[in-house]
């Protein structure tokens, strides 16, 4: 219950990050189009969307259908699955070790701010991790009772992790090895696990093939296995891998340090396969992501539960807590936290793309359907960033145009179109003087449209990002 209050505290704030905006816009597109296999952000932009398989986006679409296209809606999947994942991990560690270690594991996770933030975000990493933790729970159960059923369920949930982030779900491999050992290599449970793992992947492939042909895996696998792993994606600095332990220490602090003696004592106390699983999770994520030039926090999130259980075991050797009393105390703190962030001017979520969100009043009830902005091949990443914010915050179709085409696009503007002009260079700044065509402006952008769309605004300065907004976007 405490996790629910901590996670859902102030989840209606409008702020989202770049990936959340992208996934939110795509998920809303699923709801609006009714197409579950032809996913895209906009014509020509993530068209088709092949960055990841679609399971989490389908769940996001269902959440948006239920709660509307709000920050709450796009955070809902990660929040619910994150809580279920922590509960499953608690149950697994309690069964495998003891309740004291399980409780301290969850307490350690509460102290890792980045982990808690990802539980209240629209990123896909928490759904992926949660399915792995749930799969681990059923893997722990196979040695006690119903090995075939539990192996089947473990395989299904590990497969779901792959259907969230594809080849990025490297955390399934140590759990699969743990599952093999827990089954003592018995044939029937192993066949059940294989069936559970392969069936969802085959079903997704077959259904997508029936709808779109064999386009997803044909485009996805080369992109993920080769395009994202070429030499340009590998950090050139020979010591660049140090970012991974550095960021882990920065965000997990003493928990990251205590994991080392924790693993040692797990091994010494004969919890050796748990210790090996923990080491496997740490090492596989380090070797896959530590040497990448993309040094993002999302790549350290999947190792936090494993760091936490090792640290918790070490702490538990010296400190036995009253689980009931501590649970009541943490619940009381969660209630205070929930009401504090709900009724006091405390910001929980930062807002990326706030300067674009500021134009929502200008376009929300207007005739504008398309918003143009400049992007060349070298600026493709920036272009996709702007596209995501336009699609999510403003709910308009983003359209890119090439450098030097601003005048031509402006000359052909209709009442259903607008241009986001970045305030860079004398030529772009000159558009601010076309007052009858300026719908709004701030320090980063000028929103240009037809006179009919813009003349009814008196004050046209748009200050980015209200920190707290109640209601839907």
Find how far residue 154's CA is from the centre of its chain.
23
Whether the Cβ atoms of residue 432 and residue 441 lie closer than 8 Å to each other: yes
- Model confidence at 199, in pLDDT bands (50, 70, 90)? very high
Most confidently modeled range among 231-235, 287-291, 462-466: 287-291
Whether the Cβ atoms of residue 133 and residue 88 lie closer than 8 Å to each other: yes
Cis ω before 48 (30° cut-off from 0): yes
pLDDT tens sequence across 200-253: 999 999 999 998 888 888 888 887 776 555 545 555 566 778 889 999 999 999
Tell which phi-psi region holds residue 404, choosing left (phi > 0), alpha (psi between -120 and 50) or beta.
Answer: left
pLDDT tens sequence across 401-424: 888 899 999 999 999 999 999 988
pLDDT tens sequence across 157-195: 999 999 999 999 999 999 999 999 998 888 999 999 999
Q: Helix, strand, coil shares of the chain as percentages rounded to 5?
A: 65, 5, 30
Residue range 354-454 in CATH 3.40.190: yes
Whether the Cβ atoms of residue 69 and residue 472 lie closer than 8 Å to each other: yes
The C-alpha atoms of residue 284 and residue 430 are separated, in whole angstroms, by 53
- Model confidence at 348, in pLDDT bands (50, 70, 90)? low
Own/partner contacts of 283-290, CB < 8 Å, gap of 24 or more, are 284/170, 284/171, 284/173, 284/174, 285/170, 285/171, 286/241, 286/244, 286/245, 288/170, 289/244, 290/241, 290/243, 290/244
Helix 18-33 to helix 71-96 angle (10° resolution) is: 110
- Model confidence at 327, in pLDDT bands (50, 70, 90)? confident
The C-alpha atoms of residue 402 and residue 374 are separated, in whole angstroms, by 6
Least confident of 5-19, 61-75, 166-180: 5-19
Q: Which of 134, 145, 139, 132 is nearest to 179 (CA)?
A: 139
- Model confidence at 473, in pLDDT bands (50, 70, 90)? very low
Average pLDDT over residues 314-319: 92
Whether the Cβ atoms of residue 204 and residue 167 lie closer than 8 Å to each other: no
pLDDT tens sequence across 73-100: 999 999 999 999 999 999 999 999 999 9
Domain layout of the chain by residue ranges: 2-341, 354-454
Please say if the pLDDT value at position 307 is more than 80: yes
Please say if the pLDDT value at position 343 is more than 60: yes
Q: What does DSSP assign to residue 378? A: T
Whether the Cβ atoms of residue 60 and residue 122 lie closer than 8 Å to each other: yes
| pTM (two decimals) | 0.91
Q: Which of 276, 98, 88, 101 is nearest to 182 (CA)?
A: 276
SS3 27: helix
Whether the Cβ atoms of residue 391 and residue 25 lie closer than 8 Å to each other: yes
Percent of the chain with pLDDT over 90: 56
Element (H, E) at 421: strand 417-422
Residue 230, class by beta-carbon neighbours within 10 Å (0-12 exposed, 13-18 middle, 19+ buried)? exposed
pLDDT tens sequence across 99-134: 999 999 999 999 998 998 898 888 999 999 999 999
């Amino acid at each position: 219950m405490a996790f629910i209050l901590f996670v859902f505290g102030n989840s209606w704030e409008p702020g989202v990050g770049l990936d959340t905006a992208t996934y939110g816009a795509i998920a809303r597109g699923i709801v609006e189009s009714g197409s579950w296999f032809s996913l895209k952000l906009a014509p020509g932009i993530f068209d088709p969307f092949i960055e990841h398989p679609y399971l989490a986006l389908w769940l996001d679409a269902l959440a948006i259908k239920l709660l509307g296209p709000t920050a709450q809606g796009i955070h809902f999947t990660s929040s619910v699955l994150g809580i279920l994942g922590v509960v499953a991990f608690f149950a697994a560690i309690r069964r495998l070790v003891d309740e004291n270690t399980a409780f301290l594991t969850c307490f350690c996770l509460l102290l890792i701010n980045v982990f808690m933030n990802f539980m209240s975000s629209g990123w896909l990493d928490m759904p992926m991790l949660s399915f792995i933790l749930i799969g681990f729970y059923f893997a722990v159960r196979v040695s006690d009772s119903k090995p075939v059923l539990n192996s089947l369920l473990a395989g299904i949930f590990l497969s779901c992790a792959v259907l969230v982030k594809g080849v990025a779900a490297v955390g399934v491999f140590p759990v699969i090895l743990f599952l093999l050992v827990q089954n003592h290599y018995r044939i029937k449970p192993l066949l059940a696990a294989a069936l559970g793992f392969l069936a969802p992947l085959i079903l997704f492939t077959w259904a997508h093939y029936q709808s779109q042909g064999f386009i997803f895996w044909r485009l996805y696998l080369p992109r993920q296995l080769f395009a994202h792993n070429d030499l340009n994606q590998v950090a050139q600095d020979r010591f660049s891998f140090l970012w991974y332990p550095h960021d882990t220490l920065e965000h997990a602090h003493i928990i990251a340090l205590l994991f080392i003696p924790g693993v040692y004592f797990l091994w010494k106390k004969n919890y050796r396969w748990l210790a090996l699983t923990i080491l496997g999770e740490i090492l596989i994520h380090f070797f896959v992501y530590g040497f990448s030039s993309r040094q993002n926090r999302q790549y350290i999130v999947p190792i936090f539960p494993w760091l936490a259980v090792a640290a918790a075991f070490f702490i538990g050797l010296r400190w036995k807590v009253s689980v009931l009393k501590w649970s009541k105390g943490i619940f009381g703190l969660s209630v205070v936290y929930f009401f504090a962030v709900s009724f006091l001017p405390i910001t929980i979520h930062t807002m990326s793309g706030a300067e674009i969100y500021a134009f929502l009043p200008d376009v929300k009830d207007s005739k504008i359907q398309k918003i143009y902005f400049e992007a060349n091949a070298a600026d493709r990443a920036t272009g996709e960033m702007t596209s995501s914010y336009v699609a999510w915050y403003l709910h308009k179709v983003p359209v890119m145009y090439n450098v030097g085409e601003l005048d031509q696009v402006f000359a052909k503007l209709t009442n259903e179109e607008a241009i986001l002009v970045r305030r860079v260079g004398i030529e772009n700044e000159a558009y601010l003087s076309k007052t009858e065509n300026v719908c709004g402006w701030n320090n980063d952008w000028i929103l240009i449209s037809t006179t009919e769309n813009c003349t009814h605004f008196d004050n046209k300065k748009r200050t980015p990002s209200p920190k707290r907004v109640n209601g839907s976007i």
